[in-house]
Structure 1
Amino acid sequence: MNTGSGGDPAACAARPPGPAAAAGAIHPAFLPPEALELDLSDPQQRDFGDYELRERLGAGGMGVVYRAWQRSLDREVAIKLLSSAPWTQDEAAARFRREARSAARLQHPNIVAIHGFGSHDGIEYYAMALVRGPSLARRLAVDGPMAPRQAARLGRTVAEALHYAHRLGVLHLDLKPGNVLIGENGEPQVADFGLARHVEGGRAVDPDEVSGTPSYMAPEQLDPGPDGIGVATDIYGLGAILYELLTGEPPFHAPTPARTLALLRHGRLRRPRRYRPDLPLDLEAICMRCLARAPAERYPDAHALAEDLGRFLEGREVSVRPLNAVQRLGRWIRREPKLGGAILAAVLALVVGLARRWCSGSGRRRARPPRAGRPGAARRRGLASGRRGPPCRRPAPAGR
């Protein structure tokens, strides 16, 4: 469905003023985010083509979402209006349409369905199913971290939905608690494929200009390496959600986006059990594998992650076991080969130096002649060699 008009100036002039007119009739350019914050008490601003905007539900990196009534089909929907910042008009339109087309291909009970998209008064939009429930971000803000089994069940459901999307060639690339909605039945639904990319062979076909939300971005979204952007990027995003479900905190967070990105690039991730020592080791190991810095060290696909979470829930052995100290050291050295090599070389040199010093001191002690006149020295040497002197005799009692 592609309702609404295109960019005919005459047609726009014939219409009553809508959101674009209320914002200063910016046409055919797209509106800045603040211009999409409409006064819904004004009937003219509520009117949006086939839709009547009724309530602001939230905002994201690419637009503002409203609850709306679709007149032609007599139903309530959620409608997302495009914000242009921080891209140019053409880039914003292309990204927005790609999001709608990608998500419209996905028909899954745990993915928010897309009903249609189009343009009205120079504003790009798409309509989707209205999920009557809070986002996972809202649930965390109110209730705090989840019980381990509850978090594992939710993670498994989202992983299965992601695997479905990946099999149809769609990456999400902006997974975070705010993009997982909780329906009335308590089931999660993945929304907002705003950074979606087509995937082939596990890698994004068009990975240029990939961005994301700093606290939930994978390292390769910041610094693409030889592995590039791919299925493993969404695995990291789901791992970041699982981490916050268990700890109440995202993997990396700082007062500003720039400092958060610096932590992502150089920081050390705290293990979930540092926050909650009672967390099961197997669940922590699953979470940490999702968040491995190198894409090749994560789960190969979302199906493998869902299976491991299922094993945990069933009390069976998971495929990834908790790392011991030696294994963690080995992984760190693989991530930081130069620094790790330098530290190992320094430790080895120290050990060799101490060993030589000990051997040299031991040789000198063996070659040193015994010192004469030292009280008790001869007796101690005799005892050490196993020789004993004549037995001591007690003096006989007097008078015998």
Structure 2
Amino acid sequence: MGWGDDPAEAPVRDLTGVTLGDFQIQRMLGRGGMGEVYLATQVSLSRPVALKVLHRRYLSNPTYLSRFEAEAAAVAKLNHPNIVHVYMQGSVDRVRFIAMEYVDGTNLRDYLSKKGALDLPLAVSIMRQAGMAIGAAGEVGLVHRDIKPENILLTKKGRVKVADFGLCRDLEADRMHVTQPGTTMGTPLYMSPEQAQGKHLDHRSDLYSLGVTFYHMLTGEPPFRAESAVALAMKHVTEQPIGLRLRREEIPVELERLVLKLMAKSPGDRYQSAAEMLADLARIRGQIMGSAQVTGAELSVASPSLSKGEDPPISISGVKALAAVGPASPRRDGIGDRLARPAVLAALAAAGLVAGAASAWMARPTIRFADAKPGTAAPGLRLETAWAGVPRQESAEAQFRYALLRAPMLELPAAWAAVPGYHPKPSEWVSSAYLHLARRYFREGDVRRLNTLRDELAAWAAARTEDRELVELLGPALKLLTGDLDGVIAGMSGLTFAVDRPAAQGREELRLFDPGLLEFGAEIASRAIKLTGQAGESAGQIKRDKLVGIQRRLMVSLRRVRELEWRRQSGPV
């Protein structure tokens, strides 16, 4: 082929028109850090193939080549309809290549760029098929290490195929911490926390990346963004994603929970296998598919060759044909960390994000409830009497994690009530459980239970500050459920957030710094905005403008609090 003697210095050469053994190369399909991918024809079988050609600098690394060959052989043994099949590997004239199935269609990244967030039936179908691929690989010990939309292919015939299993992955990248000086890497939009930290990886790392991909597919954008690869990777390590329903309200609560469980920071808190995730997804899928008006544009008619219970293939129309081979403390509405309130307020002040934030916190008055009578029993227990049948855990933290990660969907309200039921001493875990329970009632439109929970929290003698703040936020929530938009605006306008100036001397007002409460407030505002069209054109626009302003302040506060949470956990502010 005439390349130089030093493989590491060999220039990249377009092999279009070259014949490598049985393969006639037609054109280049793509190029990456590890090599190039070509469309070729396998002459003996008259079939199109994707030919991945390895960059010559890797040919001088025997350790890399040994692992590369072993993993290529392992992938070749995987005969799964949702995995791009590897036909063979070979070497001709010092060109090392892998011949694999050519996928005529597009990849999920390009499809998302064109379509945005996907319809739920389509998204769930892709989730199921991609999960089956990850599960099949995990059963034989293969870890992909690079699950992302580019590696999830959508064929014209309606099949999802995961590409690049274990192939052409840089060995050194696996051993490097992402913040190691001199490390060069791509944007880690979908990287697991353990991969970002250079830790040992197993199939649960792929499940995390799959969860991030699902988040992107359902909301139209990745959960984290940053100005550098290092900052982005550290967000996967320390920061919690904004709830999916806050970005797209029609996402079922159960589906949001599934994705957030996949994205748990600790591998032990995630699904322990793809099969476990698929079992939950099957229940959610039945609900979504049963309620959706499935048309030919969303899902095509199931093929007779599909196994029982398999998703019908997806009909992808109007796309280009491509070949792509390509102990924690609780967060009050999600999996993972929660802010240490005084520390964050001090950080806010130090960062100049909130003028006088620390002094405002210290001078902040206790919230008073004029009609509340002191109570001793933990709130919510008489609303969910089945809590006593929930398996007891050894601590409030363990009880919270049971509800968050293990409790059956239908038993969730009782599981949340079991946190204060078994562990009544006020704690962050108990306060977090009450927020989850309140949001459950709110989303179900259960005015009676939500109002009762609010009254019981207000009367609870042992209530923490966070519980009092939740009570105040439940006021606008209840107004919304009864259709009182003016009441929502008045109630939300009485709250101040992390971006607001401190209260004037002698003025009592609630300041929200808790990320879970901020998310809940933004959810209330978002739902209220959708109702403004019923108030008449002029009045509706005025109400909408006010609610949009409230929602904007909430989202800015949430973003800044998240940034400070990350700074606090990463080191001194």
Comparing 99-108 with 289-298, greater Cα deviation is found at: 99-108
Q: CA deviation at 1:36?
A: 4.1
CA contact (8 A) 2:87 2:100 kept: yes
Q: Where is the helix percentage greater, Structure 1 or Structure 2?
A: 2
Match of 1:138 in 2: 110
Which of 176, 183, 194 lines up with 1:220 in the alignment? 194
CA contact (8 A) 1:70 1:77 kept: yes
Specify whether residues 233 and 196 from structure 1 end up closer, same or farther in structure 2 by C-alpha distance, changes over 3 A only: farther
Comparing 160-169 with 103-112, greater Cα deviation is found at: 160-169
CA distance in 2, matches of 1:53, 1:175: 27
Match of 1:35 in 2: 12
Specify whether residues 87 and 276 from structure 1 end up closer, same or farther in structure 2 by C-alpha distance, changes over 3 A only: farther
Match of 1:328 in 2: 331
What do residues 86-128 of structure 1 show as CA deviations (whole Å, max 9, x unaligned)?
8963354334324412311211111111110011222211000
Specify whether residues 248 and 161 from structure 1 end up closer, same or farther in structure 2 by C-alpha distance, changes over 3 A only: same
Local SS of the residue matching 1:53: strand
Which of 3, 21, 28 lines up with 1:56 in the alignment? 28
Local SS of the residue matching 1:214: coil
CA contact (8 A) 1:232 1:301 kept: yes
Q: Percent identity?
A: 33
Alignment of 1:62-211 (within 5 A): 62-83=34-55, 89-194=61-166, 208=175
Which of 280, 287, 309 lines up with 1:315 in the alignment? 287
CA contact (8 A) 2:263 2:270 kept: yes
CA distance in 2, matches of 1:196, 1:168: 19
**What RMSD in Å do the two structures reach over aligned CA positions?**
3.6
1:311 is matched by which residue type in structure 2? R
Specify whether residues 79 and 52 from structure 1 end up closer, same or farther in structure 2 by C-alpha distance, changes over 3 A only: same
CA distance in 2, matches of 1:90, 1:186: 40
1:284 is matched by which residue type in structure 2? E
1:129 is matched by which residue type in structure 2? E
Query: What is the TM-score of this pair, normalised by structure 2?
Result: 0.47
CA distance in 2, matches of 1:60, 1:178: 12
Specify whether residues 27 and 49 from structure 1 end up closer, same or farther in structure 2 by C-alpha distance, changes over 3 A only: farther
Comparing 54-63 with 113-122, greater Cα deviation is found at: 54-63
Match of 2:355 in 1: none
Q: How many residues align?
A: 305
Specify whether residues 173 and 130 from structure 1 end up closer, same or farther in structure 2 by C-alpha distance, changes over 3 A only: same
CA contact (8 A) 2:330 2:337 kept: no
Specify whether residues 229 and 273 from structure 1 end up closer, same or farther in structure 2 by C-alpha distance, changes over 3 A only: same
What do residues 234-292 of structure 1 show as CA deviations (whole Å, max 9, x unaligned)?
11111111111112222323344233223333434222223223322221111111111
Alignment of 1:170-319 (within 5 A): 170-194=142-166, 208=175, 214-224=188-198, 228-315=200-287
Specify whether residues 165 and 62 from structure 1 end up closer, same or farther in structure 2 by C-alpha distance, changes over 3 A only: same
CA distance in 1, matches of 2:279, 2:99: 33
What do residues 18-70 of structure 1 show as CA deviations (whole Å, max 9, x unaligned)?
4xx2xxx13572676x60444x3xx4xx2223211112222344221111012
Larger of the two Rg values belongs to structure: 1
CA contact (8 A) 2:54 2:168 kept: no
Specify whether residues 223 and 258 from structure 1 end up closer, same or farther in structure 2 by C-alpha distance, changes over 3 A only: closer
CA contact (8 A) 2:82 2:161 kept: yes
Structure 2 stretches lacking a partner, 5+ long: 178-184, 289-328, 346-357, 368-573
Q: Is it true that 1:26 corresponds to 2:4 in the alignment?
A: yes
CA contact (8 A) 2:24 2:42 kept: yes
Specify whether residues 335 and 182 from structure 1 end up closer, same or farther in structure 2 by C-alpha distance, changes over 3 A only: same
CA contact (8 A) 2:106 2:154 kept: yes
2:197 is matched by which residue type in structure 1? D
Structure 1 stretches lacking a partner, 5+ long: 1-17, 198-206, 317-325, 356-400
CA contact (8 A) 1:171 1:196 kept: no
CA distance in 1, matches of 2:21, 2:98: 12
CA distance in 2, matches of 1:70, 1:140: 32
CA distance in 1, matches of 2:237, 2:330: 22
2:152 is matched by which residue type in structure 1? V
